[in-house]
Structure 1
């Protein structure tokens, strides 16, 4: 019996993805899009990465989009698959990363009956995606796919969700793929650039805050040249620390959670803020206080690729809507006339260097010293991936994000991101060292994706920081409700993570002292494949803050 051919609509969808430059998709397979799976199996342009949970699928696609600037692509099934994947859509939206989630949907004839796993995906994803729609006509597949790419990469990048009715994927069609779409490259207005330079020239204590929507290697290179020429201190937005080289003589450190107090004061007291790419969201600005939301004696120049973001929260003295690369290159090449020269950049850089130097803290396994040893041992362009938790503060403070991209971390604070992101990074950049760092609670959100790493031959190092608690919440608990008898719902009973890593087919070991960690990392560096180091630390050791749980308790 002759095997049936892949239906024309499903073949067309795959061909459209190929035309748009898609070379990898992430999926947990589902019966609702069997036709697409068959089409993917009949070609060799797109690699199919089979994952273990849809949250991991979406995180991998989100991370892939962050690295390439093109949408990371995910396929999941309806109902439970789509709702599991929604966390990645939320991250892609808040992180301004391009992503497309395809969801197998119910047969059109079953719609609106609350059929098996039926969800109104446009209504469900609408608030957390740039665009959510359903492809009802096979002939319009090229239109929808091209629009999805254009929407995901234009303006403020973000996620698109497209539902695929099961019957639509089986239909005949003569449609052909549309040509590859590119991100519009809008140059800044020369008059606006002139006004910007005049504001900078009149400033006494300017500070730049950079990184975010549309930031890329071109923007990094040219903005660094611009800032160094003028001597302006440059802070990076929350978890955008690879937006400038840490060796730049004007790099002042990162904003967000646990920043250098001297940098916070510098931003609060600045008479001019130059925000480029950053939305100036809640995390970056510490609840819209760094810088203050409104200040009579401060000017704000806000540069962003999406006009809807400008003046949406922070009122701007000068708003510039432009592509990040175009703006940065224009700034680097701009002849400002009379030379502008600030000495604050060098001062801010020295303050950051002092703040970002780890000193022994007396704990058996001193995480600050461990990060310092990582810096001395691993390549400078190592990609570090993490989710959310107190543990991440050690890397935010003491690691140097020298390469680009080299920091994959959710600005929306989602747990479970680090391991899937590291798998995605290891597949996208097999020539680079990739490290996933995760807390014990964070790791078990998506640690199952170590199976994906092993199956697809990903080379990555996983560092699990185990303090037996949801440490961030425990920290807040101790501050707000001090006392041992007030601890609630934050204690964790953990497995042997080293044994778990071994069970997934990797090399693994346990470290309870700094010396043991150093030995383990040196051995891990000399190996390939999946490597896991289980770091057991004291709950009293709070991430990079200099505080302790008992210190909070005794305040």
Structure 2
């Protein structure tokens, strides 16, 4: 006897280890949501906006190591969650995106919210398909989950008309297929060793490929064996322990010039699962044509996409590092020690608490001192994040969840998704007031679910990064970047969360300790000086061209 497509889909998700589906309820998915009620191991997490749901699902996958699942109904829901599809693509995160299509009988007749959903989301996704034949839905969903996890992971969209869910199928739920882990081709390990041995100042740039292949321990062992310094690609801080003597910095927006010099001084760059994109390479200026590049990436299209490479190896990073292990090869340690000393000098913060103002460096220092090493941090886009990127040191893998896409509004819903995946760990989100207000409604989701996330909101009443660009290009000609905000503490309390305000960095430690003790959703508003527009510059300095 057959079962419904909806029940089959529930079984397939269960077989793939999925425990939560995020989304906003839609009439397009009524039958599917009803089927979820029959499986106590599959939870539907209702968000307040599909964009927030998509961020939750993406972060849940990053923190939990599985596949995220988000659903949205028809054109409106699909449009709302598209920001999460783009983020998953930029983050190389496996994400199954289920979009509910209108009834098949109404297609092509100006049906309600009619659009071609697969074509609409395809440019953002790794793969997108619509399947209206109930008999083919099980295989389509199984293939989508395999594509999402294979190669460079990413988001896969499956559009399903609402009438297919109640149809019966004879196929069993799809079980996970083995995921290929390609190894370097014969001779490539020897070529790698020869190229590496010839370098005097080698540098590893570790990207998402290290994390998605679970290669953090292998990278640590390799770096120690060869005594080579490691930098983290854009928002991949936790790919390598930041307190290790071989860690030499994170390539972010506004990287300190002396850290960029580490890249410029290297005579060979080994890009491990790193795309060498615009931000990692500081606008494609940090790497010169004379530098030798070895690139290891599981995705062939990433090889040499931004810079010519001397040696290209298409392989899973973890498998490649095992192949490259070889004998111990000690080299002069002066290069690594020198660049580590630079990193420590420009990123260390001395204790200097203020009673009359907020210094964001002290906020990050106190945050570090009061959190366990396994605490998870999420962050939004904006200049406020520069202090975290520069001064917070991630000591363990899988403790950072950020959007390489630079999406505003990410941190709060991402913290919810991460906390659901890692319920035994403290999860802290960092936002500016602009980004926080974009998805603040998800604070209700956190309260309803009882997820004890702590949201730090750096409030300078502006879109800070936009103001910085305005002041740099058109000094003293602000337009559109100034903001007004509600009382964020009162707003947090109205949702049922804990709220407290910090107006001087000396107040932050007691506020953080109080939030940790509450063990419920908390918001700490941190009033910051609008003049301090970035880590290294003030508005006045920008206007004066300094």
In the superposition, the TM-score normalised over structure 1's length comes to 0.95
The offset of 1:145, in angstroms, is 1.4
Structure 2 stretches lacking a partner, 5+ long: none
Q: How does 1:116-127 map to 2 (within 5 A)?
A: 116-127=112-123
Do the aligned partners of 2:433 and 2:458 also contact (CA within 8 Å) in 1? yes
Matched, 1:23 2:19: yes
How far did 1:217 drift? 7.6
With 530-539 and 281-290 compared, the bigger mean Cα shift is at 281-290
Instruction: Specify the alignment match of 2:539 in structure 1.
Output: 549
Report the Cα offset of residue 361 of structure 1.
9.7
SS for the counterpart of 2:369 is helix
Structure 1 residues 161-216: Cα deviation after superposition (integer angstroms, max 9, x where no partner): 11110111121211111221242222223521111111111112211100213624
The runs of at least 4 aligned residues of structure 1 exceeding 3 Å deviation read 338-342, 359-363
Q: 1:142 to 1:7 in 2, by over 3 A?
A: closer
Q: Distance in 1 between matches of 2:161 and 2:214?
A: 40
Preserved contact between residue 219 and residue 329 of structure 1 (Cα < 8 Å): no
Partner of 2:410: 417
Q: Secondary structure at the match of 1:274?
A: strand
Contact 2:20 2:45 in 1 (8 A): yes
Say whether the 8 Å CA contact 1:216–1:325 is kept in structure 2: no
Instruction: Give, in whole Å, the separation in 2 of the partners of 1:348 and 1:25.
Output: 45
User: Aligned-pair distance for 1:112?
Assistant: 2.1
Q: Secondary structure at the match of 1:419?
A: helix
Shift of 1:70: 2.5
User: For 1:216 and 1:16, how far apart are their aligned partners in 2?
Assistant: 22
1:162 aligns with 158
> Does structure 2 retain, via aligned residues, the 8 Å contact 1:17–1:145?
no
Residue 298 of structure 1 pairs with residue 294 of structure 2: no
* Cα pair distance change 1:134/1:30, threshold 3 Å: same
Query: Helix, strand or coil for the counterpart of 2:208?
Result: coil
Of residues 86, 91, 100, the one that matches 2:87 is 91
Aligned partners of 1:440 and 1:464 also within 8 Å: yes
- How far residue 377 of structure 1 moved from its aligned partner, in angstroms, is 1.0
Secondary structure (helix, strand or coil) at the match of 1:162 reads strand
Q: Distance in 1 between matches of 2:45 and 2:542?
A: 45
Q: Which residue of 2 aligns with 1:344?
A: 335
Aligned length: 542
Q: Which 10-residue stretch deviates more, 111-120 or 408-417?
A: 111-120
Q: Residue 328 of structure 1: CA displacement?
A: 2.5
Gaps of 5+ in 1: 1-5
- Whether 1:105 and 2:101 are equivalent positions in the alignment is yes
- Structure 2 CA distance for partners of 1:190 and 1:354, relative to 1, 3 Å: farther
Render the CA deviation track for 1:58-97: whole Å, top value 9, x for unaligned: 1111112222343200111111111000000011111211
1:66-465 map, 5 Å: 66-213=62-209, 215-216=211-212, 218-292=214-288, 295=289, 297-331=290-324, 333-335=325-327, 339-358=330-349, 364-465=357-458
Give the TM-score normalised by structure 2: 0.96
Q: CA RMSD in A?
A: 1.7
Query: 2: CA distance between counterparts of 1:284 and 1:51?
Result: 33
Residue number in structure 2 paired with 1:517:
508
Q: 1:461 to 1:217 in 2, by over 3 A?
A: farther
2:487 maps to 496
Q: Structure 1: how far apart are the matches of 2:360 and 2:291?
A: 39
Cα displacement (A) at 1:533: 0.5
> 1: distance between equivalents of 2:498 and 2:291?
54
Q: Distance in 1 between matches of 2:65 and 2:411?
A: 19
